[in-house]
Amino acid sequence: MKALSDIVMLDLTHMLSGPFAGMLLADLGARTIKVEPPGTGEMTRGLLGDDPRYSYKGMGPYFLTLNRNKKSVCIDLKRPEGRALFHEMAARADIVVNNFRPGVTERLGIDHATLAAINPRIVTCSVTGFGEEGPDCDRTAFDVVAQGYGGGMSITGEAGGPPIRAGVPMGDLTSGLFGAVAMLAALHARVVTGRGQHIDLSMQDCQVSLLSYIAAMHLLSGEVPRQFGNAHPIYVPYNAFPTGDRWLIIAVVKDDQWARLRDVLGSPALHDTRFDGYEGRRDNRDAVDGAITDALAARGCDEWLALMRAARVPCGPVNDVARALTDVQVQARDMVVEIGHPEGGSFRTTGNPIKLSGSPGESYDPPPLLGQHTDEVLADLCGKSDADLARLRDAGVIA
């Protein structure tokens, strides 16, 4: 039995942040019912679906990855009978998660107050760009917008260069992560109180929280942090360096690590007394990094990795995506998995990083076809008969 197998979640999400939150709980066993509108369904179903490089049997990479372990039910929530049907489902659910714009759930009649009147134990979670309250909560947000507002983008990139967003969509993914944590916290609180609650999660809030000690440094000093590229504001050497072939990361924070690095590199230039102590290296950053760059040119990345690991110098390669996914440790920990497709065959994608010793977690059901489980779910969860389902389908309420 998976850790969350007793939890029923209604997933109203689309694009990336919300579906990622739902996927995390689905991977841990939550019975996740993706509620989609009739017609084209959730908007990422067709995204890159017709590109032979990035799709499999009409499903693109977004939908394939984010909707594993979910069932699909097609309901028209704009119809009164569709909303009534959703209310029946919510009466038997534990979580309802969405990432609609503020006000949409109220207009549809599926907001927390409405659902809590039906099921006082329901936990609802809304992931929005800027939260559901505040003077500018109606701003439109996508990942890069959230990264821009959150401050982290201003310190990403080389000194004096343009701001650079993170290569992975941190605005979306971190709000999905925080959403999953928040839903688990609310479920735990329900054990004590017997009642559910609403979670108002802002992508901007999540980005600001990631500033962490960098925000504290600013608030203490009044100084506005600047771009450091791959370097660290305090520790040197702490950077990505070119070698004879590809890039190598060196991350030295202690003097004994520095001494071992000097021995490995064998460069007389690194024995300059100006570099003694972390303050000395910090104050002579360019000279330290320059001497290391010169020394590293003599060998390739893999050769240096072997020498530095043997000397216990913190280091690592800058892997491209192909190298990252074929890394021996990644493979050993099942972080690349093969998942079936509902129409046959299979595709590969990333696995689940959460490894629980007492609960199985390494199994994946295929991402669903649109409305594939409508009859199954409504019969099981709401007790609908074949006649009920036929009538709802004829009326256009379900598909």
Report the C-alpha dihedral over residues 93, 98, 103, 107, rounded to 10 degrees: -50
How would you classify residue 15: left for phi > 0, otherwise alpha for psi between -120 and 50, otherwise beta? left
Whether 386 is a known active-site residue: answer: no
In DSSP terms, 238 is beta-bridged to 251
Number of helices (H) and strands (E) in the chain: give both, helices first.
17, 11
Quick check: 42 and 20 in contact, CB under 8 A? no
Q: Retrieve residue 196's tokens.
A: 């559910």
- CA–CA separation, 20 vs 114, rounded Å? 25
For 47-110, give the DSSP string: TTTT-TTT-BTTB-HHHHHHTTTEEEEEB-TTSHHHHHHHHHHHHT-SEEEE-PPTTHHHHHT-
> What are the distances in angstroms from CA 393 to CA 11, 182, 324?
21, 36, 47
- CA–CA separation, 173 vs 179, rounded Å? 10
- CA–CA separation, 374 vs 380, rounded Å? 10
The active-site residue, picked from 94, 111, 172, 375, is 172
Amino acid code (one letter) for 154: S
Amino acid code (one letter) for 133: E
Name the E strands within the chain.
8-11, 31-36, 70-74, 95-98, 123-128, 198-202, 238-242, 247-251, 315-317, 336-340, 346-350
Sign of CA dihedral 259, 264, 268, 270: negative
Quick check: 341 and 57 in contact, CB under 8 A? yes
Active site residues: 172
